[in-house]
Structure 1
Amino acid sequence: MARRKLVYEGKAKILYEGPEPGTLVQYFKDDATAFNAEKKATIEGKGVLNNRLSEFFMTGLNNIGVPTHFIKRINMREQLIRSVEIVPLEVIVRNFAAGSMAKRLGMEEGTQLPRPIIEFSYKDDKLGDPLVPEEYIIAFGWASQQDLDDIVALALRVNDYLSGVMYGVGIKLVDFKIEVGRIWENEYMRLIVADEISPDSCRLWDLESGRKLDKDVFRRDLGSLTDAYTEVARRLGVLPSNGPAPMGKPKLIN
């Protein structure tokens, strides 16, 4: 078997050259990082869960007309995606104050915001992905004003979808981040959702108890990250509801 060509390796995923032009294979690792990779661990089964959960969310978005890079899941850890030019921004959508926002503004975590608030951070691990205003984004050519308008509209549609899906299974969508990519169809450029959507990139709290079901479990040493992600997958129907999944080796439905 020919060895696949490595395109990029990040903290949680690896990208390989895809089987067809304009495609990539995205591999989900078991690595967990926090605080700009100052805290690291390998958590068996995490990549399998994130692959399956991201497939679930990306498929749902595609089905309601929100374009994404997702094509299909290949196996337990890999999915086929469209190759895109990533806009060098993380797009953060906040429904409740938490994390860095709560700290910056001295707000109590869990405070409901008057409306969804969108923030942008510049994608650069060495700089700690700093928050940037729209003026910087336009001045430095990372995106145009029209791009930003389209990105905001895209992010709000993702928020509506995710909020509804999560609420339906008893989970509060506190905040999340997405990345956006550019694709060209002849001379026409489109912006689509890229990277992943998983508990790695969302804050998810149980509606009744407030229990955290996202990467804050790892950040704050609140228990088993695998158990938290498995609970999200089980509620969404990604995992079977009868009987516990083996620790670290969750059984997924094809």
Structure 2
Amino acid sequence: MSIDCQKLYEGKAKILYTTEDPEILLTDFKDDATAFNAQKKGTIIDKGRMNCGISSKLFQTLELQGIKTHFIDNPTPNQMRVRAVKILPLEVVVRNIAAGSLCKQTGLELGTVLPQPLVEFYYKNDSLGDPLLTSDRLYLLNLATPEQVDTITHLALQINKLLQEIFRQCDIILVDFKLEFGVDSQQQILLADEISPDTCRLWDASETDPNRRVMDKDRFRKDLGNVEDAYQEVLQRILQTIEQQNQNQANY
């Protein structure tokens, strides 16, 4: 790591460093694992490398589909250079199938396919437990402008369609996932943070057993075991699928 890099922020899963360019930051992905708002803590061996690899490939693929992201490149397997953005204090959750808190709060049965994708906004605030927001509360707290919310909602649904297709080709079901967005120096909204088994619910499409099908951090949350194997399987399938797509395009 360059001597010019200074720690800017450390979160539960990543450390953010400055670089010699104020418009570029360095993200270091950690092996630390947390759940239930950091009430449960542990380590997933090599998680940083795997999540960085998964996120990088997905960001690059989304960029090719017209989604602007903060991704630049990977100086090392567990590091990502990114465009500096001011993160909006919102966690944007897109749900395709009922799971997690949606089941607990609504009584919907686990695995219920939703008639259309559900976009939810949560206040990104650990001390408050990242609460679900109504639009009125979101505007009351001045977390984003109505124009930004419209843009983010549109982007989230567009990203959902693209990710569903990518994962479908990997024989993986995209149940739900969390996104974060930031604003760059030109006031553009960019997709930021990461897209990985830490931030997505992913089910193996070829598996019907409710425990064996899990390929995401729920394996850690629920003590299902084989967490590292699941993350590595997601990485391998994504790499193989995208490499095959690139070869097909090159031969076309």
Q: Give the conservation status (yes or no) of the 8 Å contact 1:121–1:131.
A: yes
Q: Give the conservation status (yes or no) of the 8 Å contact 2:57–2:239.
A: no
Q: CA RMSD in A?
A: 1.5
Q: Does 1:201 align with 2:199?
A: yes
Return the offset for 1:139.
2.1
- Partner of 1:236, secondary structure, is helix
Unaligned runs of 5+ in 2: 242-252
Q: Give the conservation status (yes or no) of the 8 Å contact 2:122–2:133.
A: yes
Residue 227 of structure 1 corresponds to: 229
The count of aligned residue pairs is 237
Return the offset for 1:111.
0.4
1: CA distance, partners of 2:133 / 2:175: 21
When residues 157 and 103 of structure 1 are mapped into structure 2, their CA distance, relative to the original with a 3 A threshold, is same
Return the offset for 1:238.
5.7
2: CA distance, partners of 1:233 / 1:172: 14
Residue 218 of structure 1 corresponds to: 220
Return the offset for 1:19.
3.1
- The normalised TM-score by structure 2 is 0.91
User: Share of identical aligned residues, percent?
Assistant: 47
Q: Deviations over 1:124-172 (max 9, x none)?
A: 1111100011111122211111111000011011101110000111100
Residue 113 of structure 1 corresponds to: 114
User: Which protein has the bigger helix share?
Assistant: 2
Return the offset for 1:183.
1.4
Q: Deviations over 1:42-90 (max 9, x none)?
A: 1220100001001011111111110000011110111100110111000
Q: Give the conservation status (yes or no) of the 8 Å contact 2:5–2:20.
A: no
1: CA distance, partners of 2:18 / 2:161: 33
1: CA distance, partners of 2:144 / 2:40: 32
- Partner of 1:143, secondary structure, is coil
Residue 146 of structure 2 corresponds to: 145
- Partner of 1:68, secondary structure, is coil
- The normalised TM-score by structure 1 is 0.90
Residue 188 of structure 2 corresponds to: 190
